[in-house]
Structure 1
Amino acid sequence: MHSRSVRENEGSVVYARDARSSRNSMKPTATFSILARSYAGGPRPRNTAMILGGLWLLLFFAALFAPPLLDDADATHANAARAMATTGDLVTLKVNGIRYLEKAPLPYWLVALSFRIFGFNTFAVHLPQALAVALLALLGHRWANQAFGARTAFYTSIAILSTTGVFLFTRIFIPEVLLSLLLGMALFAMLKALYPEDDAPAEATQDAAGDERPADAWYAGTLFYPYAMWASLALAVLTKGLVALVFFFGTGLVFLLLMGDLRRIRRLKPVSGIVLFLAIAAPWHILAGLRNTGGMNGHGFFWFYFINEHVLRFLGKRIPMDYNKLPGYLYWMQHAVWLFPWSLFLPLSLSALRRRYVHQTTGLTHHVPSKFNTPLLNVGFLVACFGMQAILHLDWFTFLVLVLAGSAALGIPRRRAHGGLKLSPFHRIDAPQRTMLLLGIFTTIILAFFSLSTNQEYYTFPAYLPILLLTCAAITRAEQTYVHNADGRRWIAFAHASLTVMGVLIALALGYGLWVSRHLPFVPDIGDLLAHRSVGDYTLSMSHVFDLTGQSFAALRLPALLAAFAFATGPAIAWMLRMQRRHIAATTTVALTSALFLFAAHVALVRFAPMLSSEDMAASIHELEASGRIAPQNEVMLYGDQAYGSSIPFYLGRQVLLVDGRSTSMLFGASFPDAPHIFLTSADLARQWGKGERKLLFVPLEKRDEVDRLLGSRQIVLEETSGKALITDRPLDH
């Protein structure tokens, strides 16, 4: 193919004469024809609302009441929000009276407001997250509907509500779902502001130069999007910190460079927009810096928040070193679990990406010398890769993934330069393809960033929305071209076959467990039946999954039965519907199968509550005080880091003492001179035990042996659950 013909056909926009133009100009119509074709075949709005509402109520609203707050991050963050609600200090986060300066404030403001409305309970803590999930689903529906049509919109919203990762990582009070919502809103608004012509009405007027443009009223409406973008971005910074700027501006810059549309930046109202951004985001940062000075080594908020929590955390040198990093192979492969069951359809998206790559890098026979393809550039790329590996200490799996991805990304401009074309193939693409490009860049930046940084399993949560939206667009296209698209049929069949085989195997395994445990007694305290393998030293959020044993299965009969039923029937029904070409019903059945499984997982989580939460210990203290068996004047202590029993001070509603607990989240805040005197050493405990006011000591499983050696027979056990104990230093009062 000659390079000229390639240049003329490289864009995907089909041009047609517009009869409305007095100048007979050529105008793009592919966007509208694609949207019209995609919109056809979507479910009825009433059915969509019923299914989405039912999924949200089942999986997110019903889960607001149980289990109680979990120890570690869940209750720790709830304590910070409770301090805000009770003291009225909306600037400095505090946990158990100690400064907690590592987090941005917006999630805590929302929960503090929820406390003021609903009281101090589990429902109030998790309600903002459940609402954020609902808004995220609505955002996905809106964006997908405008870019790809009603069917993709429906699939995207049910995928968000039925995805494993979204379900798991909203069981605890962390900011990721709110960050995902705000960054998604900012990206959507940016795209709308950059390309307002995509929403232009059919009626048009002519300006002074004779060019067509929509009515002035429509232009006035588009002014909303730039400022909505800056406001959403500011709120994202108040949710998670400067990483929101990295993701957003990195995505926007790469997108505009590839589009060759840097001049469109002025449509984002950068001057007035930055003023709005600073008006929203700057005051808290300034006040927090002014009110929190003189901490560890003279450092205050600015060093701890910006340097320690952003730069040093990325480099793996944060103080304290209480974070782990997943191995490279596990980091990349785990996304198949977090995005299940929709990850089974990812090959559809990858197949489409491969076709686009081949289209842009083959058939270019016309050779034009280019400085883009030089040995110096190749050497520079390799030097940069090895330098990054040395600085960040990447494992070789992650290093290999990044090298291969970088080589593939460089392949397109390299080959196009070889053919004498513009380096970027994206300067003439339509609205749906711009959405694909923007979300693809955003996903790539997030996944690459956290593959280099220290990470937790849920850090890549903001990538779930774009991945699911693009996957659902690929599913819709494969369904609409099912008859003549052999490649799409093959990958859809692969997804259903994989889900069915997995479902049969899981159902058989669960059925076997139910059979062999049929005579075993039900044990309410499942924690006593678990192994304690300390995978990752419990610094990973899913470490406790590895503690499961066969004996603990008897306590999980109901959720196991529900999960077995879901996997035994759902995948087969979905495949049968697909074979009958009832595509919407088939894809919806996949979502409902996942929803039933996730509901079973929630029931299992409730069964794990005695192990994962210490709410029952706080309830015992309340009961003992109410019955008069202990005096209200007592000292409650936690042995070890406060994360071991962080739900106790929340449910007690008062400050507790920490024995050998000047660590992790308490370390920096404890260094301020006005920090309350809540820290004791083990020697202090041994010396004060049995003297003065009654002592009530919470002992986590990890510290039982240490406390036994320290106190010996001088302890009286009041309650013991899942290896944790509540002990006192004297007999109960009558």
Structure 2
Amino acid sequence: MQCSPIIINPKRFYFWLSILFLILSAFFSFEAGKRPLASPDEGRYCEIPREMLESGNYLTPRLNTVKYFEKPPLFYWMQATSFQAFGYNDFAARLANIFIALVGCMITFVFGWHMVSPRVGILSCLILATSLLYYGISRIVILDMTVSVFITGAILTMARGLLMPTGRLQKTFVVASYVFCALGFLTKGVIGFSIPGSIILIWILVNRQWGWFRTALNPIGILIFLALVIPWHALVSLKNPEFAYFYFIHEHIIRLVTQSHQRYQPFWFFIPIFIGGLFPWIGFFVMSLKEYILCLRQKLNSPYKSLLNLLCLWIGFIIFLFSLSQSKLIPYILPAFPAAALWLGHFINEHILSAPSDQSAKRLLDRSFQLNILLSLGLIVVGLLLPFPSHMPSHIGTNGKIIITILIAGGAFIPWVLQKKKMPYVAILALIIAAMATNLYLNHLSEHFQRPSSRALALAIKDKISPEVPIICFEFYPQELPFYLGRPVMISGWLGELAFGASVEDKTDLIFDHTVAAKIWHISKQAIVFVRDDNFEAFRSTIKSPFHIVGQHFNLFMISKLPLDLE
């Protein structure tokens, strides 16, 4: 397979690029600032950049002033840039993640358009944006979206370069792949390089294109990669001698091969996650696999065989790699979704829309929608059986289940009816619109599915107390609280992920046991304590003196030593 080195019909390309960018910008930005930051992840990845801005130290990440070396700094720097431009608020907190999700869709569009066809680019972009997991992660301030997009860019630019004729443009794409690898490395460590590198290596071996090794091992690309990656790692190691072991050994090896982070799940965990996360496109994915296997058995040649092999390898490698890991979290398989979107874009275009009147195409489309209906009914049943979160108002939960049932059922049956009426393009469009509507409504409800946030209490008290007043978190640490307060907090009886940082420097002024907490309470003229209901009696028995409950948000209490008027 050879890819054209130029843009065919540039006006059409830039028209669609602009249209998709505008539509998806609105789609991803919808109510982005409504939901409070979720604890712990969103709070952590906003508090660290806030402290960077406040201290002016962009080298050593700190969480609640404690050294925090679990991840590299690039995402923190992106967050700090957003806060510096738009202030400390929930929309600015999610802006970098939204932007990078949009970039991921645009990369998928551009490479789908150039490497296969314009329609594949458009379809792949919209499939990716409307997939349940991709859209969901675009709304959460975590690193997985960013590293996924950089991994996607690394794989696709390298593939584009290897499939092109030798020349300057080929070298440009290969070098761009190394840049994406470096950005991925600076976002989440070694996987930013090792995952795309492994996938490309296996793809070259499968294709037996030994000359591609020489093209891929580009000296300029390697030097640029090292120039981008080494400086921060070297400087932070010189400044913090304890960094290298914790970062490279504990975070990159021990957490993968042991259950030290208590994130163990069975080997098959990511299979249902992938199926559910690809909703509402999973029916098409199943049929596309069937067609792919059939083509392999019949040894049918396709001009896109090499690219399809890469996409299949890409998806399988991500799922298999993280299935082996002893530490599993849902977002880990997000890097597989751009490949799945390109795979589906090609399948729908090649086998269904290219010859819509063909009986084989009609049969594939019909069966894809039928599978979607079955899976949608399964999701509806599961959704109806799941209990409401304890903090969700019952009327919101009941209404939400009704509306989601209508959206999922309508999104499954209406496109099927349309394709029965011989309108395949309209059916696909209807499925895209239904997926957007379902994702938007789920996002609207998302505040009620996460743990209750301390935002309301923090904002109520922020301007009512002086900086000298101690604020103590009793036996827990809501990581969004310092972000909303604009200051670090004291923590009594909890270490968690701050344990390593607290062990390498003296933080006893902020992290201590209940005896110290009681002493601070008694010697301070005024003090504020945040405590959950399950630790309320332990707090009462610790301080053994009168107090005032000045705020409550679900199971979280805000307690003041002196009466405090929050009106």
Q: Normalising by the residue count of structure 2, what TM-score does the alignment of the two structures yield?
A: 0.90
What is the CA distance between 1:475 and its match in structure 2? 1.8
SS across alignment from 2:522: coil
Q: Distance in 2 between matches of 1:467 and 1:109?
A: 30
Q: Name the residue aligned to 2:494.
A: 661
Q: Name the residue aligned to 1:441.
A: 313
Q: Distance in 2 between matches of 1:44 and 1:267?
A: 28
Give the aligned residue type for 1:613.
S
What is the CA distance between 1:713 and its match in structure 2? 6.5
The 8 Å contact of residues 562 and 596 in structure 1, kept in 2 or not, is answered as no
2:457 to 617, 638, 646: 617
Q: Name the residue aligned to 1:21.
A: none
Q: Name the residue aligned to 1:266.
A: 214
Q: Name the residue aligned to 1:693.
A: 525
Q: Which has the greater radius of gyration?
A: 1
RMSD between superposed Cα atoms in Å: 3.0
1:239 aligns with 2:187: yes
2:85 to 117, 133, 138: 117
What is the CA distance between 1:279 and its match in structure 2? 0.4
1:476 to 330, 349, 354: 349
Q: Name the residue aligned to 1:344.
A: 283
What is the CA distance between 1:270 and its match in structure 2? 2.7
Deviations 1:304-335 (A, max 9, x none): 00000011011025xxx333122233331221
1:302 aligns with 2:250: no
The 8 Å contact of residues 550 and 564 in structure 2, kept in 1 or not, is answered as no
1:452 aligns with 2:324: yes
Deviations 1:324-379 (A, max 9, x none): 1222333312211111111121112211232134235xxxxxxxxxxxxxxxxxxx
**CA 1:485/1:283 → structure 2, altered by over 3 Å: closer, same or farther?**
farther
Give the aligned residue type for 2:205.
L
Q: Distance in 1 between matches of 2:351 and 2:147?
A: 31
Give the aligned residue type for 1:658.
I
Question: Which moved further from structure 2: 260-269 or 333-342?
Answer: 260-269
Q: Name the residue aligned to 2:257.
A: 315
The 8 Å contact of residues 194 and 265 in structure 1, kept in 2 or not, is answered as no
Deviations 1:381-416 (A, max 9, x none): xxxxxxxxxxxxxxxxxxxxxxxxxxxxxxxxxxxx
The 8 Å contact of residues 562 and 597 in structure 1, kept in 2 or not, is answered as no
**CA 1:278/1:509 → structure 2, altered by over 3 Å: closer, same or farther?**
closer
The 8 Å contact of residues 24 and 102 in structure 2, kept in 1 or not, is answered as no
1:248 to 182, 196, 215: 196
Q: Name the residue aligned to 1:566.
A: 407
Q: Name the residue aligned to 2:469.
A: 634
Q: Name the residue aligned to 1:714.
A: 546
Question: Which moved further from structure 2: 125-134 or 141-150?
Answer: 141-150
SS across alignment from 2:109: helix
What is the CA distance between 1:89 and its match in structure 2? 1.5
The 8 Å contact of residues 715 and 728 in structure 1, kept in 2 or not, is answered as yes
Q: Distance in 2 between matches of 1:292 and 1:94?
A: 12
Q: Distance in 2 between matches of 1:278 and 1:186?
A: 15
Q: Distance in 1 between matches of 2:19 and 2:345?
A: 20
What is the CA distance between 1:244 and its match in structure 2? 2.1
SS across alignment from 1:341: coil
Give the aligned residue type for 1:581.
K
What is the CA distance between 1:608 and its match in structure 2? 5.0
**CA 1:97/1:148 → structure 2, altered by over 3 Å: closer, same or farther?**
same
Q: Name the residue aligned to 1:391.
A: none
The 8 Å contact of residues 633 and 694 in structure 1, kept in 2 or not, is answered as no
The 8 Å contact of residues 98 and 139 in structure 2, kept in 1 or not, is answered as no
Deviations 1:78-114 (A, max 9, x none): 1111112222212110011000101111111111111
Q: Name the residue aligned to 1:518.
A: none
Q: Name the residue aligned to 1:432.
A: 304
What is the CA distance between 1:674 and its match in structure 2? 4.7
**CA 1:715/1:50 → structure 2, altered by over 3 Å: closer, same or farther?**
same
SS across alignment from 1:223: helix
Q: Distance in 1 between matches of 2:84 and 2:483?
A: 15
Q: Distance in 2 between matches of 1:154 and 1:196?
A: 22
Q: Distance in 1 between matches of 2:379 and 2:263?
A: 30
SS across alignment from 1:239: helix
The 8 Å contact of residues 475 and 493 in structure 2, kept in 1 or not, is answered as yes
The 8 Å contact of residues 697 and 727 in structure 1, kept in 2 or not, is answered as yes
SS across alignment from 2:229: helix
Question: Which moved further from structure 2: 436-445 or 283-292?
Answer: 436-445
Give the aligned residue type for 2:119.
R
Q: Name the residue aligned to 1:85.
A: 53
Task: Name stretches of at least 5 consecutive residues in structure 1 with no aligned partner.
Answer: 1-12, 14-27, 198-212, 214-218, 294-299, 361-424, 514-544, 626-630
Q: Name the residue aligned to 2:483.
A: 650
SS across alignment from 2:471: strand
Deviations 1:486-524 (A, max 9, x none): 3x54443233224345657877999x99xxxxxxxxxxx
Q: Distance in 2 between matches of 1:48 and 1:343?
A: 26
**CA 1:263/1:568 → structure 2, altered by over 3 Å: closer, same or farther?**
closer
What is the CA distance between 1:560 and its match in structure 2? 4.4
Question: How many residues end up aligned between the 2 structures?
Answer: 560
Q: Identity of counterpart residues, as a percentage?
A: 21
Q: Name the residue aligned to 2:267.
A: 328
Q: Distance in 1 between matches of 2:69 and 2:200?
A: 30
Q: Distance in 1 between matches of 2:295 and 2:40?
A: 46
**CA 1:238/1:546 → structure 2, altered by over 3 Å: closer, same or farther?**
farther
**CA 1:436/1:239 → structure 2, altered by over 3 Å: closer, same or farther?**
same
Q: Distance in 2 between matches of 1:98 and 1:237?
A: 23
SS across alignment from 1:697: strand
The 8 Å contact of residues 71 and 614 in structure 1, kept in 2 or not, is answered as no
Q: Distance in 1 between matches of 2:548 and 2:488?
A: 23
Once the two structures are superposed, the pairs formed by residues 34-49 of structure 1 within 5 Å of their partners are none
Deviations 1:123-143 (A, max 9, x none): 222111111111111111111
Task: Name stretches of at least 5 consecutive residues in structure 2 with no aligned partner.
Answer: none
The 8 Å contact of residues 635 and 693 in structure 1, kept in 2 or not, is answered as no
What is the CA distance between 1:266 and its match in structure 2? 2.0
The 8 Å contact of residues 41 and 142 in structure 2, kept in 1 or not, is answered as yes
What is the CA distance between 1:698 and its match in structure 2? 0.8
Q: Name the residue aligned to 1:191.
A: 159
Give the aligned residue type for 2:455.
E
Q: Normalising by the residue count of structure 1, what TM-score does the alignment of the two structures yield?
A: 0.71
**CA 1:671/1:495 → structure 2, altered by over 3 Å: closer, same or farther?**
same
2:395 to 551, 554, 558: 554
**CA 1:169/1:612 → structure 2, altered by over 3 Å: closer, same or farther?**
farther
Question: Which moved further from structure 2: 696-705 or 104-113?
Answer: 696-705
The 8 Å contact of residues 690 and 730 in structure 1, kept in 2 or not, is answered as no
The 8 Å contact of residues 52 and 158 in structure 1, kept in 2 or not, is answered as no
What is the CA distance between 1:431 and its match in structure 2? 5.4
Q: Distance in 2 between matches of 1:259 and 1:96?
A: 50
What is the CA distance between 1:273 and its match in structure 2? 1.9
What is the CA distance between 1:558 and its match in structure 2? 5.7
What is the CA distance between 1:192 and its match in structure 2? 2.3
Question: Which moved further from structure 2: 693-702 or 564-573?
Answer: 564-573
What is the CA distance between 1:547 and its match in structure 2? 5.6
**CA 1:91/1:567 → structure 2, altered by over 3 Å: closer, same or farther?**
same
Q: Distance in 2 between matches of 1:55 and 1:712?
A: 56
The 8 Å contact of residues 660 and 682 in structure 1, kept in 2 or not, is answered as yes
